[in-house]
Amino acid sequence: MSKNPFQPFTEEHQLLRVSAREFINKEIVPYVAQWERDKHCAVEVFRKMGEQGFLGVTFPEAYGGSNLDLWAMVVLVEEVAHANIGGLAMSLFAHTYLPLPLINAFGTEEQKQKYLIPALKGEKIGALAITEPNAGSDVGGIKTTAKKEGNHYVINGSKMFITNGSIADFVVTVTRTGAGYDMSLLIVDTDNEGFKAVPIKEKLGMHSSDTGQLFFEDCKVPASALLGQQGMGFYYIMNNLQEERLVAAISGAASAEWALNKAMAYAKERSAFGRPIGKFQVIRHKMAKMAIIVEACRSMAYRAVHEFLAEGSGAVKIISMAKAYISEEAVNVINDALQIHGGWGYMESYGVARAWRDARLMTVGAGTTEIMHEIISKLVVDDVQYQRQYVEARGV
């Protein structure tokens, strides 16, 4: 590991970066426009990513991973973000870093063989189903139920805004199995009778990401579909959300950097009143401010990774801060990049319009900014130590 905390990447990480960039430029970038029109990416891209080992960089070798550290994940998230393909990034990382860490951490050997191994190969696509039509950031408000009947669970309810929902082969589903926070995770194969997925097409952005509404109507799954212990699902999810928010922070910082570089290049090319617009003080100062924000975002994201490696779920505060700050500021930087492009920024051909659309979800997905502020206020103002209860509840 590099001794520089702001450049923590080893030679192995840099080789991974080069490999990922070459793959993305060849196998993904040429097809993004078509995927945007289709409103989902080609499922074949998961298999291609899996064949290159990109889906399993941080997972155990025993299940097809590379067993690298979290900085390898950072490399991949940054490279995908630098390619300005937010929708695909959302699908890929919702597959890799939402359901799969839960299966890796709490799954039985049978579940890992059935789901984790083919998922890391890209042969099966996974999704995590938490949000419901009337329960989003408030995970405790979910109403989808799972009732134990003999050797089966019977699931009833619905889920909303589920990434990969209508292309997934399996869905790790948060269900209510009792009162209060008595919730459980069940792995549902999407070919199960009683399961239905409907694609959601009319979205502001993230067009190349599949989003679905899921319906469970007396959906019967075997008792072996239970992931971890019954009644512990809420605590598993709270831990897992930290990794999701970390990915969101890293992606946001890298997206802001992409927008800054795009704006600087355009400011050198575009002339007005006889000189490049980058020579005007108002544009130069705008880009200077953008550069400061990008540096702050990257530094905060890297610190969050560092603390997550050291403390795991105990890094709730810095991860929540990073998610809140970076998501808001990334939107501002991308908005400024669009402004610098003028009318051309509003056109699809420069890519800034797509980046702007995609970025708007950052302040909503993986927990809204308002929810992040509430978490931070409890940790900072009220001094509530619920990092501790997460760690204790997880039992690891």
Nearest alpha-carbon partner for 80 in 247, 328, 227: 247
Q: Which of 36, 132, 244, 329 is catalytic?
A: 244
Residues 6+ apart with CB under 8 A from 357: 204, 205, 206, 207
271-272 and 275-276: which strand pairing? Answer: antiparallel
* 97: nearest Cα among 53, 134, 58: 58
Apex 374 CA angle, 370 and 379, nearest 5: 145
Q: How far apart are CA 64 and CA 61, in angstroms?
A: 5
CA distance 116 to 110: 10
At 49, list the tokens: 């990513």
Amino acid (one-letter) located at 309? L
- To the query of whether residue 244 is one of the catalytic residues in this protein, the response is yes
Alpha carbon 113 to chain centroid, angstroms:
24
How far is the C-alpha of 143 from the C-alpha of 84, rounded, in Å? 36
Q: Are 287 and 262 in contact (CB under 8 A)?
A: no
d(CA 187, CA 226): 7
By C-alpha distance, which of 118, 122, 382, 101 is closest to 247? 101
**87-98 per-residue burial string, b: 16 or more CB within 10 A, e: under 16:** bbbbbbbbbbbb
Name the residues annotated as catalytic.
244
